[in-house]
Amino acid sequence: MRELWRKPFWPLVVLLLLNLVLAPGFFAVRLQDGRLYGSLVDILHNGAPVALMALGMTLVIATRGIDLSVGAIVAICGAVTCAWIAASPDPTSPGAAIGGIGVALGLAVALGAWNGFLVSVLGIQPIIATLVLMTAGRGLAQLVTDGQIITVNNPLFSAIAGGELLAVPLTVIVAAAVYALVALATRRTALGTLVEAVGINPAASRLAGVRARTLIWTVYVFSALCAGVAGLMISSNVNAADANNAGLWLELDAILAVVIGGTSLAGGRFSITGTLFGALTIQTLTTTILSLGIPPEVSLVFKAVVVIVVCLLQSPKARALLGRRRRRRGAAGGAPPADPPPGPPTPDPDRADGAATPIPAQRSTP
Amino acid sequence: MRWTTESAPRSTIRRPVARLAAAAALALAVTACGGGGGGGDAPADAAAGGEDTIVMGFSQVGAESGWRTANTKSVNDAAAEAGIELKFSDAQQKQENQIKAIRSFIQQRVDVIAFSPVVESGWDTVLMEAKRANIPVILTDRAVDSADTSLYATFLGSDFVEEGKKAGQWLLEQPESSAGPVNIVELQGTTGSAPAIDRQEGFAEVIAGNPNLKVIASQTGDFTRSGGKQVMEAFLKAHPDIDVLYAHNDDMGLGAIEAIEAAGKVPGQDIKIITVDAVKDGMQALADGKINFIVECNPLLGGQLMDLAKKVVAGEQIPPRVVTEETTFDQAAAKEALPTRQY
């Protein structure tokens, strides 16, 4: 039972229960013009971009890196696509949209390769290497749009966020497909183990024959590509590119989703389902705030409290303290002491410094 | 200690590289902020122009929106027309750039300084320097919170409370408002920003006069289209009976229109929409009948600014607060104004 608290899905369950009690109609889903319509659909649809970015971030973090530039890449890809469409001879034609999307995704890959080059070849600390693009990237996007919001009216482009397949929004389908592919590639092949090996010890894995440099390069390219697709979703959702605001601070949301999902920032192990739950938790939190009508002045505090509680309950030390208190109270009440007071958290044999693994994601199964 | 021992020497090797990279990143960031728009340093040539031309130093916030670009263009055009020599400096959203620019204006001994403060506080020192140099300062568009109002000659800008009131007044005059209860949802601007606070306050003050009008939900959409869309989606699910949407700017209203259409309702008819700003995309939606009423927040204050500058340099008395000339648009007025809309 106590193991259950370690699972990354419970904050999501608690939030949904809260809505079940306080927000009637939250779970209602109906068809509207051939598309599913309801708060749950909103969560999946609006959560898809961050979920994708968090997926790329998970692999980067698993190699003991971090990618701060994903928010800027969102802005760049939205800006480039919309600028391309607006500048093409027929802005409503499918060709214009395909051209814009192609250029934007190509640029995303190039930017990811730049990050990967800085980290894997030049050996620059990932936080610094990606900070370069985080600062400069948004400026680049503003340069493309001239600081203006570019509005486009292209049916194919707006279908990225506005379209649906069998009544399910395309954004959800795309995100789910990418998750499934990555889960298969990392858990059904050796790729996942190789990524973890690089994260645990790059030097040793290189000596063992793992091509660490190529792997690190690849995860940054993949992260940028995910951010690029997220950027297309975000700008398609409003049919406009807003270089100043699109993707602003989303890199932090993506990192938060990874952390809530149980992936250690120290690298070496990762959980893809955990990240998915983390991303959905963040979006559910936002939607909950809106549907419960929590005033905007306190909504940030509400968010912060939820995040702190989630992180505390994932921390073995905090949990041990909590458990000890509960037991002591039980003993004072006359009940026979259940079991000896727990010692310090079990040291993790995989961790060199002897500290307990902060967030046991992969190997916590009872 | 399996990997720590091994990676320790590695990290010492890496450290100079990392440090170099940090320096490079910093340099990049600085050039990114300082370059482009001329940075904080105004051109050092042309010391104060001729005898009778007025020289104005103008420090703009940045170029973050179409509204701001129109504002810059208006100031430039009006200066050329009024025969005032303009020294323009773009602060790129940074207060330190703006303070640098003002100091450089003081050194060049311009006749009058005008600027749109990036933030409200922290201006006392540099404004005091301008006052000691006997250079009058005109604030445009945004205010400062200095207790000493003698530090600046006047504040020329929109009255956001008045904008909120105009929005509320239009709603009061609609026949539906006297017929029965009207459920209003509000999309606020960035929490804590002056336009968001004032536009909410002015609107609430006016609609308080009619008990039929009730704001049933109010959330922030951060002045962005995405924000407006997402919040409106949630509003539509939580409140099936929305009659009116009041958005603190056009962009949030435009995002909300998409959410309303996705919910199978007709924006402008099933849900009446009031917004503030009157940028071109908003005016287009108004002309298309998707928005019902827009309160203008006018960036074209260049003419008024040049008039005030001439007066203050000539030593005439000017009022400490001048409100920008602003109007409102309904759908018919939007169709008329759209072809000549500058921004």
pLDDT for the residue numbered B40: 38
- Chain A: nearest CA to B283, how far in angstroms? 13
Q: Do B14 and A125 touch (CB under 8 A)?
A: yes
Cα nearest neighbour of B197 on chain A: A297
Given a cut of 70, whether residue A184 has pLDDT beyond it is: yes
Q: Which of A35, A162, A352 sits opposite B4 (nearest CB)?
A: A352
Amino acid at A158: S
User: Which of B224, B226, B258, B343 is the best residue to mutate to test the A interface, defined by the most A CB atoms within 10 Å of its own CB?
Assistant: B226
Domain count, chain A: 1
Average confidence (pLDDT) over B172-185: 93
Give the start-end residues of each E strand in chain B: 55-60, 85-90, 112-115, 137-140, 154-157, 182-188, 213-220, 244-247, 272-277, 293-296, 321-323, 328-330
Q: Tokens for B277? A: 């700003």
Reduced to 3 states, what is the DSSP secondary structure of residue A313? Answer: helix
User: Which of B1, B3, B242, B343 is the best residue to mutate to test the A interface, defined by the most A CB atoms within 10 Å of its own CB?
Assistant: B3
Q: Which domain holds residue A65?
A: 35-293
Radius of gyration of chain A (CA): 22
The Cα angle at residue B237 between residues A37 and B206, in degrees rounded to 5: 145
Q: Which residues does chain B have within 8 Å of residue A230's beta carbon, measured at their own beta carbons?
A: none
Cα nearest neighbour of B235 on chain A: A291
Q: In this structure, what are the phi and psi dihedrals at residue B188, rounded to the nearest 5 degrees?
A: -85, 160
A289-339 pLDDT, tens digit per residue, is 998 888 888 888 988 898 888 888 777 788 788 777 766 665 554 444 444
Q: Which of B17, B223, B229 sits opposite A237 (nearest CB)?
A: B229
Report yes or no for ipTM above 0.90. no
Given a cut of 80, whether residue A248 has pLDDT beyond it is: yes
Q: Do B237 and A42 touch (CB under 8 A)?
A: yes
Cα nearest neighbour of A243 on chain B: B64
pLDDT for the residue numbered A6: 61
Given a cut of 50, whether residue A249 has pLDDT beyond it is: yes
Token pair 């952390």: residue: A259
- Chain B: nearest CA to A287, how far in angstroms? 7
B40-80 pLDDT, tens digit per residue, is 344 444 444 445 789 999 999 877 677 888 889 899 999 99
Q: Which residues does chain A have within 8 Å of residue B240's beta carbon, measured at their own beta carbons?
A: 25
Distance separating alpha carbons of residues A241 and A138, to the nearest angstrom: 12
Asked if residue A213 is part of any domain, the answer here is yes
* DSSP secondary structure, B69-122, as one string: HHHHHHHHHHHHHHT-EEEEEE-TT-HHHHHHHHHHHHHTT-SEEEE--SSSSS
The domains of chain B, with CATH numbers, are: 55-158+299-326 (3.40.50.2300), 160-297 (3.40.50.2300)
Token pair 């307990």: residue: A356
Asked if residue A286 is part of any domain, the answer here is yes
- pTM listed for this prediction: 0.80
Which H or E element spans position B329?
A: strand B328-330
Residue partners of B45: CB distance under 8 A and separation at least 6: none
pLDDT for the residue numbered A9: 82
CATH value at residue A81: 1.10.3470.10
Q: Which residues does chain B have within 8 Å of residue A37's beta carbon, measured at their own beta carbons?
A: 262-264
Q: In this structure, what are the phi and psi dihedrals at residue A352, rounded to the nearest 5 degrees?
A: -70, -35
Percent of chain A past pLDDT 70, that is, above it, reads 87
The answer to whether A322 touches A345, Cβ cutoff 8 Å, is no
Q: Which residues does chain A have within 8 Å of residue B199's beta carbon, measured at their own beta carbons?
A: none
Q: Do B28 and A123 touch (CB under 8 A)?
A: no
Asked if residue A284 is part of any domain, the answer here is yes
Q: Which residues does chain A have within 8 Å of residue B191's beta carbon, measured at their own beta carbons?
A: 296-297, 300
Distance separating alpha carbons of residues A248 and A176, to the nearest angstrom: 24
The answer to whether A178 touches A226, Cβ cutoff 8 Å, is yes
Asked if residue A69 is part of any domain, the answer here is yes
What count of CB pairs under 8 Å joins A to B?
A: 138
Q: Give the end-to-end CA distance of chain B in Å, rounded to a whole number.
A: 63
- Chain A: nearest CA to B181, how far in angstroms? 20
Q: Which residues does chain A have within 8 Å of residue B2's beta carbon, measured at their own beta carbons?
A: 201, 352
Q: Do B217 and A293 touch (CB under 8 A)?
A: yes
For CA atoms A181, A183, A184, A186, the dihedral sign is positive
